[in-house]
A and B are shown apart, each in its own frame.
Chain A
């Protein structure tokens, strides 16, 4: 079965007084991997469960290809799903778990085991077919769950924080593997996570959610460099929030006059949003405008955390070779390298 595209149109879902999804819209193209990112409780899991048919919707519709599937029960939707919690069937072997979807689709035993072994090969567990699930590590269990979700060639693959219970190293390896597999199989995929690094590193596009709506959906680059709203700007990547005054569309930061790229009010107290890599630190001969608090070495680059004399904490990201003598307490000059700045209300 070939992958299809997925559309959610004006989907709403309330739980009592809580609005989990509020006229939610999303389109995922054929073979695309879209991550849904957002703070806890913003409705990511609800959106995924509605797509899977495990949760009902109050209004709106879910379309796969041309077909409205809003009223189709979960087991007829042909979607593979990997859950955050370990969800393998403990009474079945690894190969039987992977073959389960094909068994439900009445595929002969010989064919479904053959397919299961193919998938176990793909997820790097070819020798574990006869084991039971309690004999696997957490990472291995999630690989098997992934193989189980893909074995019946689903039209859509849904992943709800599949890596969040795993160790850092395993997480990074497995997310790369998921991406490789997803590209080679061309499966339309929705990946829910609250880990922005995870979302940014493996997705074609990332949708940032807040309070049941999609704030912005774009490629990781656009999301990082041109966030549509202050919420997205703050949520994605590290963002410095520097209090300043806005007058005639201009903001003065560390003595440099910058153009405010989003004009809300024409003047008054605002907060300027600046990425760490747009701020550089120079050793000052006199008092400077800030003092170094810590320097954290990260290999090629280093993060220098400073405090301005007004008390604002500012983080700068610079190539490491320039930063060796920024010891705590050093008086420095902070400078901004861009000419435009995003501002938001205090």
Chain B
């Protein structure tokens, strides 16, 4: 059979590649320029690593993002599961509400969300994971929603319950492994979004990796680009780690 070229697909992929790779390659090219001597070298990277703030901020953003992922999973997985099981008439409404963080101006949101947070996190840096959670909600909610729609949730849940699993065991031992792909997607989205969040963080006067990079950029733009390039690798390593920790066992032996 002759293989036909799928033109729309080709255009989509090319556009995507252009949008993702061209900026990245350009940034990389910038980051290895050596303005003083001319030509290319690792000067900017050496400069970045020499700055001890680099490690401090990347770790700080790292654990804040990890906490955001935790908050997201703990709050969202049971909630979305419950919504699916209850067959509630509220579901379309909640589908819509989950999109609100996309349309509310960040300034309004920053103030409003902050005062509605539990008191023990208010005005501590721990408020950030909760606020990032809300910013990531439209994406995280959808990823989980699609995952739960793709499995016979009700039967599997009832089978687990009648076999002796409490609600929490059902979610941890059965539902999360079964919608593994969607959970991984949620983790990746939430983590990446938290790691790169800038506007809200600045508005609330917190310092994280993105705000620090912006600060550095005013002094040494090429150094800041080198830092950003390195920071790209960190989520990649983390996601690979998660994938290895949560192996898709049925796919391994699927032959």
Contacts and interface: CB of A to CB of B under 8 A. Distances in A.
Interface of A: 52-54, 73-81, 83, 85-91, 93, 100-101, 104-105, 132, 134, 145, 148-149, 152, 158
B155 interface: yes
A104 B155 CA distance: 18
B178 interface: yes
30 contacts: A52-B158, A54-B158, A73-B166, A74-B161, A74-B162, A75-B164, A75-B165, A75-B166, A85-B155, A86-B152, A87-B152, A87-B156, A88-B159, A89-B178, A90-B178, A90-B250, A91-B174, A91-B177, A91-B249, A91-B250, A100-B164, A100-B165, A101-B164, A104-B163, A104-B164, A132-B249, A132-B253, A148-B159, A152-B163, A158-B162
Contacts of B152: 85-87
A105 B165 CA distance: 9
B162 A54 contact: yes
Contacts of A148: 159, 163
B162 A79 contact: yes
B156 A75 contact: no
Contacts of A77: 162
B108 to A, nearest CB: 41
Contacts of A75: 161-166, 169
Contacts of A52: 158, 162
Contacts of B164: 75-76, 78, 100-101, 104-105, 152
A117 to B, nearest CB: 18
Q: How large is the interface on B (under 10, 10 to 19, 20 to 34, 35 or more residues)?
A: 20 to 34
Contacts, number: 83
B160 interface: yes
Contacts of B250: 90-91, 132, 134
A101 B161 contact: no
Contacts of B160: 89, 100
B159 A81 contact: yes
B254 A132 contact: yes
A90 B165 CA distance: 16
Given A75-B165, A101-B163, A89 B155 contact: no
Contacts of A91: 174, 177-178, 180, 249-250
Interface string B145-160: 0000001100110111
Nearest to A89: B174
A100 B178 CA distance: 15
Nearest to B178: A91
Contacts of A134: 250, 254
A83 to B, nearest CB: 6
Which of B152, B159, B164, B177: most chain A CB closer than 10 A? B164
B180 to A, nearest CB: 7
Given A75-B165, A101-B164, A104-B163, A87 B180 contact: no
